[in-house]
Amino acid sequence: MKSRHFLVPILLLVALGSAGCGSGGIGSGSSISIEQEWQLGQQMAAQVAQQSQLNTDPQLNAYVRSVGERIHAQTPMANLPFHFYVVNDPSVNAFSLPGGHVYVNSGLIQQADTADMLAGVMAHEISHNVARHVVKKIEQEQTISVIGSILLGQNPNQMQTILANILAGGALARFSRGDEKEADDLGLGYLAKAGYNPNGMLKMFQKLLSLEKGSPNAVEKFFLDHPLTQDRINDISSRIQRMGNVGGTTDEPEYQAVRRRV
């Protein structure tokens, strides 16, 4: 029974292998297959759609999706479906669920002054997904049989518990400093390849840090999940310097137009 359940994901992983191997890419070291992760993510995203206020403005959603897809196309997971959402929530936050689901709060869009600042924080979240950080945390906390029962739809309560933990900024949502550095480093590379100025990430995080000093409540959730310190900002800055000429600010009139709609 169990071997039958795991056979399909193994075959899929073999098929996907060429996308990830050796390209500085898909986070490994997880016994949850990519297919299982995407299945879990789909179940969680369906719950989020019921429990959160997702923004339905077609222009805003299309723009945010276009930024996300431009970055996603540069990752070793480009052949896997990613989904991008805007949550109507004034708090400044962005978060990821396993299986390529990336959420940006309207409050974050209000604080992201330019397109490359929005792209910067989205590249960071996309990178958490590419490195499979969330699913690895879930795996540390849950046995494979519990995860298997969730995937079979036999354990909806446990799925809710995991999701609630992530949404509340609980242990499953809190990234280690190592995870943060990996997401920053991968994200800066994807930004440059996608034609966004990587300084957008630097500017966004500098702004979040200064917001935290003035009004900590507004950015509390982001800081809970993603420990952001001056040291981390310095690391990002020196990495950008090592990247050489990254060009000027990337802003887009389309971004300013949709931003006014938030």
Question: Which residues lie near Zn ion (CB under 5 A)?
Answer: 175, 180, 183, 226
Closer to Zn ion by CB, 16 or 92: give it. Answer: 92
CA distances (Å), 40 to each of 10, 62, 155, 194, in order? 16, 25, 12, 28
CA distances (Å), 6 to each of 13, 32, 48, 202, in order? 11, 10, 27, 42
CA distance 90 to 220: 12
Q: Nearest to Zn ion by Cβ — which residue?
A: 226
Residue 86: phi, psi to the nearest 5?
-110, 130
Q: Which two tokens stand for residue 135?
A: 């699913």
Closer to Zn ion by CB, 239 or 252: give it. Answer: 239
Alpha helices by DSSP H, listed for the chain, are 2-20, 34-51, 58-72, 106-111, 115-130, 133-141, 144-151, 156-167, 177-194, 199-214, 216-225, 230-242, 253-259
Closest CB 50 distance from Zn ion, rounded Å: 25
Closer to Zn ion by CB, 104 or 183: give it. Answer: 183
Closest CB 197 distance from Zn ion, rounded Å: 20
Closer to Zn ion by CB, 48 or 94: give it. Answer: 94
3-class SS of residue 97: strand
Closer to Zn ion by CB, 60 or 122: give it. Answer: 122
Closer to Zn ion by CB, 85 or 175: give it. Answer: 175
Closest CB 13 distance from Zn ion, rounded Å: 26
Closest CB 26 distance from Zn ion, rounded Å: 18
Closest CB 95 distance from Zn ion, rounded Å: 9
Closest CB 150 distance from Zn ion, rounded Å: 24
Q: Are strands 101-105 and 83-87 parallel, antiparallel or unpaired?
A: parallel
